[in-house]
Amino acid sequence: MHEILNVIRKRQSTRAPFNSEHPVKEEDLRQILEAGRWAPTAHNMQNFQLIIVDDRKTLDAIERIETVVSETFIRENLQQLSFSEEELLKKKVGILGTMFPPA
């Protein structure tokens, strides 16, 4: 139980633009696929596929996809939004506004 609590406490989400030049180590990929294979679904009844993209042209195309930050999301979550790492550390909750795409 201690291990799972450690994992939960230390988990983090990375919100950064996709970078096709950032390779995934083969061992990390194997672990990601294993985690996906064992991930729960409702009543274990939902079929899904895990797709690995390693084609350079496709990765470059994915990297060029422009994302837009939802104004509704910003309005609804403004209280949790921090605009500096210091502010985020002080609040101990929320998301860092500078992690959003420039758009």
Per residue in 36-69, pLDDT (tens digit) is 888 888 887 878 889 999 999 999 998 888 877 7
| Secondary structure letter of residue 82 according to DSSP | E
Q: What ranges do the domains of the chain cover?
A: 1-17+67-103, 19-54
Residue 102 has a pLDDT of 60
Residue 93 has a pLDDT of 75
Distance, in Å, from the CA atom of 13 to the CA atom of 15, rounded to the nearest integer, reads 6
pLDDT at residue 33 greater than cutoff 80: yes
Distance, in Å, from the CA atom of 34 to the CA atom of 28, rounded to the nearest integer, reads 10
Between 47-51, 71-75, 95-99, the lowest mean confidence (pLDDT) is in 95-99
CA dihedral angle for residue 4, residue 6, residue 7, residue 13, rounded to 10 degrees: 150
Global confidence as pTM: 0.53
